Amino acid sequence: MGLFSRKREPIFLKESSNAELQLEKLKEIEPLLNTEGQAIIKQDIKYLEYGIAGEKNIAFELKNSHMPMYILHDIYIEDGDLSAQIDYIVFTKKICFVIECKNLYGDIEINNRGEFIRTTEFYGKKKKEGIYSPITQNQRHLELMKKIRVDNKGNIFTKFMTDRYFEDIYKSIVVLANPKTVLNAKFAKKETKEKVIRADQLVKYIKDIYENSKATAYSEEGLMEWAQSFLNLHKEVVKDYTEKYNKYRINNSKSEIDNEVKNTSSNTIINVEETEIFKELKMYRLNKSREENIKPYFIYNDNQLKDLILKMPKNKEELQLVAGFGEKKANKYGDDILKIVGKFH
């Protein structure tokens, strides 16, 4: 009797998400902000609601799959200075599916270089822009999972076998959760196309991959232990989601408000990626990664870069309060980073 003929339902070992808490916090402080702050937070709320809606679409598909599996939602794992926030990890008896959820709007094209290009239309005018590849993002998650899995093995042989067969057992999927998204992947390579699907295709995709897998199936107990091993790695991240909006609070001192009026337009929305400090820190990351022959995100990823800008550390102790910066990384790159940040204090 095959796995999918068993009458067992999917089980969420972790279903909660920090995004719901974050949304609640943002809505609480929205009325307390000035005009500029409200414009910024409204945009953040909109994007957050998009993401939550997309993840709920995936949860709906998984819950109604009527397939035996264990599911982890919104998992944060760390290993040294590396970290990953994973939308969903789905464990079947043969295959672990690592899911990156994208509730993208507009028309999405994937070209023959694997680049993602979004086309949107406003008032009859079309705009094309490149977006960060969710395939690359999810591959980084798998690389960290692989590293942890290999490092936890007890001897050279089991480490080798885990490394050798990891890609056969752990599969990356990017799920487009917005039903209105138009996907054009006709020029994409086959291996790229196979990693991007729509939410309504998810259950069939999982079932097909499972049935075609030649991997040895886990027992019921083994499957539970497998899923639990990754749940045990999860760390709850304590974060102040409102800190970035403090300067827009209407109870600021009169001098602070006057400075805001003089220096900024109430209709301006500042994109951190367009700031000089972001560009300079990103260029440092690129140059350093080339110098050390490593991937740039091993130094810090974009989310960590943004947190770095948000906290603007003045010394190595404060730098260690930035997401992804432990003592080792702070000592290795701290002097260079603090020198760059210091120019913008």
Domain of residue 277, CATH code: 1.10.150.80
Domain-located, residue 256: no
Domain-located, residue 264: no
Domain-located, residue 176: yes
**CA-wise closest residue to 90 among 164, 148, 5, 12:** 12
What is the C-alpha separation between 176 and 193, in angstroms, rounded?
12
Q: What is the mean pLDDT of residues 9-33?
A: 88
Domain-located, residue 258: no
Q: Please say whether the beta carbons of 285 and 296 come within 8 A.
A: yes
pLDDT of residue 74: 93
Q: What is the mean pLDDT of residues 203-219?
A: 93
Q: Strand 82-91 to strand 96-102: parallel, antiparallel, or no bridges (unpaired)?
A: antiparallel
What's this model's pTM, rounded to 2 decimal places?
Answer: 0.68
Final residue in a domain of this structure, among 169, 199, 231: 231
Domain-located, residue 30: yes
pLDDT of residue 334: 93
Query: Measured between alpha carbons, how far is residue 109 from residues 60, 66, 116, 117, 121 in Å?
Result: 26, 32, 6, 5, 15
Domain shared by 106 and 38, yes or no: yes
User: Is the per-residue pLDDT at 329 higher than 70?
Assistant: yes
Domain shared by 159 and 277, yes or no: no
Write the pLDDT tens digit of every residue in 85-111.
999 999 999 999 999 998 887 889 999
Domain shared by 198 and 289, yes or no: no
Domain shared by 329 and 200, yes or no: no
Domain shared by 131 and 214, yes or no: yes
Q: What is the mean pLDDT of residues 188-202?
A: 92
Domain count, the chain: 2
Final residue in a domain of this structure, among 231, 260, 290: 231
Write the pLDDT tens digit of every residue in 275-314.
889 889 999 999 998 888 888 888 988 888 888 888 899 9
Final residue in a domain of this structure, among 231, 253, 281: 231
Per mean pLDDT, which of 81-90, 268-277, 314-323 is the most reliable?
A: 81-90
Domain-located, residue 242: no
- Residue at 56: amino acid letter: K
User: Is the per-residue pLDDT at 252 higher than 70?
Assistant: no
Domain-located, residue 186: yes
Strand partners, 107: 119, 182
Share of the chain above pLDDT 70, in %: 92
Domain shared by 198 and 345, yes or no: no
pLDDT of residue 138: 95
Per DSSP, 273 falls in state G
Q: Please say whether the beta carbons of 15 and 72 come within 8 A.
A: no
Tell me how many degrees the CA angle 101-106-109 measures, rounded to the nearest 5.
80
Q: What is the mean pLDDT of residues 220-236?
A: 92
Confidence of residue 77 (pLDDT cuts 50, 70, 90): very high
What is the C-alpha separation between 73 and 120, in angstroms, rounded?
30
Domain shared by 225 and 276, yes or no: no
Domain-located, residue 244: no
User: Is the per-residue pLDDT at 58 higher than 90?
Assistant: yes
Q: What is the mean pLDDT of residues 121-126?
A: 78
Residue 78 is part of which domain span?
Answer: 3-231
Q: Which two tokens stand for residue 325?
A: 């910066």
Contacts 24+ apart (CB under 8 A), 153-162: none
pLDDT of residue 6: 46
